[in-house]
Structure 1
Amino acid sequence: MKAVVLGGYGLIGSAVMRALAAAGFDVTGVGRSAAAARRMGPGFNWILRDISSVETPEWRNVLRDADVVVNAAGALQDGGRDDLTAIHETAIGRIAAALEGTATRVVQISAAGVGPHASTEFFRSKERGDAILQSSGLDHVILRPVLVIGPAAYGGTALLRAAAAIPLIGLQILPGAQVQTVALDDLARAVVLAAQGAITPGTVADLTEAESRSFPELVQTVRRWQGRPDPKMRLRLPGVLLKASSAMADLLGHLGWRAPLRSTAIRALSDGIAGDPGAWQAAGGFRCRSLDETLAALPSTVQERWFARMFLLFPLLILLLALFWVPSGAIGLIRFDAAVAVLTERGVAMGPAQGAVALGALVDLVLGLAVLSRRWLRPGLIGMIAVSLGYLICGTVLTPDIWTDPLGPFVKVLPGIGLALAVLGLTDDR
């Protein structure tokens, strides 16, 4: 049987593709990033398309031989790279039209808590997409997982790991929120059963453990799983600070960053993430593992601890780079004559000196602002490294005495290069 998985290199999509392949399916993934597809590993077929922009005739061609279509594509919030309506509704409508009259089964991975009156557009748009599929007449199963826990971490699960990794302090975030979880392997197994026809057609079911716990209790459980000691003190994060952080994260979303503190994620957590396993088990499903069982099956390795710590440090490192390069360029322009004098006093002609200072200041400003955008982060970092090396080489030729300056301006460029290299090594988000 042939299965096509939309969003095949995401947290859920990649696990689903591997589980379907292990069950004997011929699996093809659909996604827009060739680099992310390559990182999924060899042995899979890929169709590189932006799911939100594919029209019905092209879907008809892409899905013409599919026995099963699994929709694992989704986005948390509108932003620089995401359009909720296009991904959650328009794409589903076009796929349903393309499959009209076929026996293809569609397995839709939705989310627990969806509804027309839900508190966020994420849940409302997901519900509208589910409704389109339910009214299409296609053979379908809709699975609605709660918070998914797996070896990899994106968004909310990355935030959970990072919150657990904060040294000494246990932040009490949203103490009233109740959360249930589901193992990523259980979700992938459920998709395989649905794809094989073992789940009743038309089933709409939550995938969840039976137990629930508060969000601080969840963080503490993950902290112990990571092998970290209990915090020395517990601090409740003020609501106003959490709202301010969400507003900043929403702003960063327009620059292409999928920050886990965006308002949709915080609102979803504050509402609680809960489901009812009854419908799933009634449709022929299995008992989903508890959080303790899920974590017991996942090794907490050094990679896990590195990720949690670096997830906290990554935005700080980018901010430090921006705060180094932008003021550097601004000071060069504000104190233009003094900067030019550094060169002219060492024998450089006035014209070339002015040109070098002006160009250098503008380049510093551009690079400092570039790293604040997700799209321009890698080019900006590479530019910083190249320009820093250029500064050192040209400075050594034109002003070698600055190497012995008591304040060490040339020497201080070296850790800046190291910082840019470190951030460059952390830029992958899939």
Structure 2
Amino acid sequence: MGTSRKILVLGASGLIGRFVTDDLRVRGFVAVGVARKFSASQANGPLDLELPVMSMDASALARLLRERAIDVVVNCLGVLQDGPGSDTAAVHRDFVARLLRAIRESGRAIRLVHISIPGTAETDRTAFASSKREAERLIAASGIAYAILRPGFVVAPAAYGGSAMLRALAALPVDLPAREAAAPFQPVAVEDIAKTIAWLAGRDGSEAPAVTWDLMQKEPVTLGGVIKQFRHAFGTAAWPRLRLPAFLLDLGARLGDLANLLGWMPPMRSTAIAELRRGVAGDPGGWIAATGIAPRTIGQMVGSGTATIQDKWFSRLFLVKALVIASLVLFWLMSGFIALVVSYEAAANILRTHNFPPALVDPLTIATSLMDMSIGVLIAFRRTCAFGLVAGMMASLGYMAGAAVLTPDLWIEPLGALVKTGPAIVLMLVALLTLDNR
């Protein structure tokens, strides 16, 4: 198998894209990774390119393919749900249409390897699934060499989104509702996806020129069975558990949709729950027969290993992180609102009774209340959350220092308002340190 072929990986900062890019390079391929943004820990030299591919037209994409002498394009781009900065139709359908035009205009014999999802159009119930299926139809009708890969639930060393949520469920004393736990959920190791892409990349378009393969273990397994394997690894299999009622999943999905409007991408959203209830199933027979790859089972992926302390901490904190952010937003919003609206006179009297200049009492009370509420708003939005957390810590330290000088008796006040500011600062620090998603 030759490794002289050049491969362009789109979405090289994601769960599959990052692993595949690194794996191809280890195998000796020249793999160019493209993403809108790489984290500081992901960027790996001149072959990782930050490009606004979603805004590039077909001509610009064709120029990229020609200049880099690309032989294989691996498309790992995808978004779960519509929201600020996310458009399922634009990413899954419209971009693929431009990419297909670019491949034709490039004048090169390029194979497209496209990452899709299992299932059929008859069972698609979400914009995510429908737009994925539209992209498959465009590719099948394009006349170029292609391989549509439909991975099952992807198990990888890293964990984002849904894979992180399943780890969290395995690490906490809760069970999914019976219906959801019984849903079919055939997994696949990300290593097997990478092997498949390497197999395709080492062959020209005349071998397997137009294939659609389900990539997953052959043995049927349920969502509950997948979570059970993670519990064995985490050492939590024997814990007593509270089974969640179905309405809590729906409530969590609605709250996740609300968080999505603020720029967050929580794994528990209405699309994720709908896809979870549909399940993940397919027939990997054609893939196994063509490539000779023996897919690993979920037991081989996670059940035979022991989770590291990093795995355990991450899984336990993953869902708690959302609670931390939400509580800090409410803390700052309510702190400012109560001082400005509900107990304005009481807040102002704290300054008056400590001989603060009368002309400054009202302006300072109003300003600090508005500042508190502004910090809450900043923390609520994903784009400004880090700035809001730093501002909250600085404001809290300022309050503590100011009180030490102007109102030192507040430090021994029975309810301990100032004493409690210290733990609030620590909580904001924890939120800041766990803010990264990948």
Amino acid at match of 2:209: P
Q: Percent identity of the aligned residues?
A: 36
Shift of 1:225: 1.6
Q: Distance in 2 between matches of 1:61 and 1:92?
A: 16
Amino acid at match of 1:418: V
Which residue in the other structure is 1:232 paired with? 240
Match of 1:216 among 213, 217, 224: 224
Q: Distance in 2 between matches of 1:42 and 1:384?
A: 34
Is 1:17 equivalent to 2:25 in the alignment? no
Which residue in the other structure is 2:164 paired with? 158
Q: Which moved more, 1:290-299 or 1:376-385?
A: 290-299
Q: Is the 8 A contact 1:53 1:86 kept in 2?
A: no
Shift of 1:25: 1.6
SS of structure 2 residue aligned to 1:371: helix
Which residue in the other structure is 1:421 paired with? 429
Map 1:10-409 to 2 at 5 A.
10-34=14-38, 36=39, 38-43=40-45, 45-64=47-66, 65-100=69-104, 101-115=107-121, 118-167=124-173, 169-172=174-177, 174-197=180-203, 200-235=208-243, 237-295=244-302, 299-334=306-341, 335-409=343-417
- Unaligned 5+ segments in structure 2 are none
Q: Distance in 1 between matches of 2:363 and 2:280?
A: 58
Deviations 1:377-419 (CA, angstroms, capped at 9, x unpaired): 1111111111111212222222223223232222111111000
Q: Is the 8 A contact 1:333 1:358 kept in 2?
A: yes
Match of 2:11 among 7, 13, 16: 7
Q: Is the 8 A contact 1:52 1:90 kept in 2?
A: no
Q: Distance in 2 between matches of 1:99 and 1:135?
A: 14
Q: Is the 8 A contact 1:52 1:91 kept in 2?
A: yes
Shift of 1:298: 5.5
Shift of 1:20: 0.9
Deviations 1:84-120 (CA, angstroms, capped at 9, x unpaired): 0111011111111111142011111111115365122
Q: Distance in 1 between matches of 2:133 and 2:354?
A: 69
Q: Distance in 1 between matches of 2:300 and 2:171?
A: 21
Flag the 1:349–1:272 CA change in 2: closer, same or farther, 3 A. same
Q: Is the 8 A contact 2:229 2:302 kept in 1?
A: no
Flag the 1:51–1:373 CA change in 2: closer, same or farther, 3 A. same
Amino acid at match of 1:381: L
SS of structure 1 residue aligned to 2:7: strand
Amino acid at match of 1:338: A
> Cα RMSD over matched residues?
1.8
Q: Which moved more, 1:324-333 or 1:216-225?
A: 216-225
Q: Distance in 1 between matches of 2:182 and 2:353?
A: 66
Instruction: Give the TM-score taking structure 2 as reference length.
Output: 0.93
Amino acid at match of 1:377: C
SS of structure 2 residue aligned to 1:351: helix
Aligned length in residues: 426
Amino acid at match of 2:208: T
Q: Is the 8 A contact 1:176 1:270 kept in 2?
A: no
Shift of 1:338: 2.1
Shift of 1:333: 0.5
SS of structure 2 residue aligned to 1:218: helix
Flag the 1:297–1:74 CA change in 2: closer, same or farther, 3 A. farther
Amino acid at match of 2:269: R
SS of structure 2 residue aligned to 1:95: helix
Q: Is the 8 A contact 2:218 2:283 kept in 1?
A: yes
Q: Distance in 1 between matches of 2:306 and 2:65?
A: 38
Q: Which moved more, 1:91-100 or 1:129-138?
A: 129-138
Q: Distance in 2 between matches of 1:44 and 1:181?
A: 33
- Unaligned 5+ segments in structure 1 are none
Flag the 1:187–1:176 CA change in 2: closer, same or farther, 3 A. same
Shift of 1:221: 1.8
Q: Is the 8 A contact 1:172 1:216 kept in 2?
A: no
Amino acid at match of 1:124: S
Shift of 1:39: 1.7
Q: Distance in 2 between matches of 1:394 and 1:57?
A: 60
Shift of 1:191: 1.0
Q: Which moved more, 1:414-423 or 1:257-266?
A: 257-266
Shift of 1:196: 1.3
SS of structure 2 residue aligned to 1:364: helix
Q: Distance in 2 between matches of 1:178 and 1:311?
A: 24
Amino acid at match of 2:161: G
Flag the 1:127–1:298 CA change in 2: closer, same or farther, 3 A. farther
Deviations 1:112-160 (CA, angstroms, capped at 9, x unpaired): 1153651222111111112222222222111110100011111211111
Q: Which moved more, 1:128-137 or 1:412-421?
A: 128-137
Flag the 1:213–1:11 CA change in 2: closer, same or farther, 3 A. same
SS of structure 2 residue aligned to 1:29: strand
Flag the 1:171–1:240 CA change in 2: closer, same or farther, 3 A. closer
Q: Is the 8 A contact 1:56 1:97 kept in 2?
A: yes
Q: Which moved more, 1:298-307 or 1:203-212?
A: 298-307
Deviations 1:291-319 (CA, angstroms, capped at 9, x unpaired): 11112576511111001000021111112
Shift of 1:41: 4.7
Instruction: Give the TM-score taking structure 1 as reference length.
Output: 0.94
Flag the 1:297–1:111 CA change in 2: closer, same or farther, 3 A. farther
Q: Is the 8 A contact 1:257 1:373 kept in 2?
A: yes
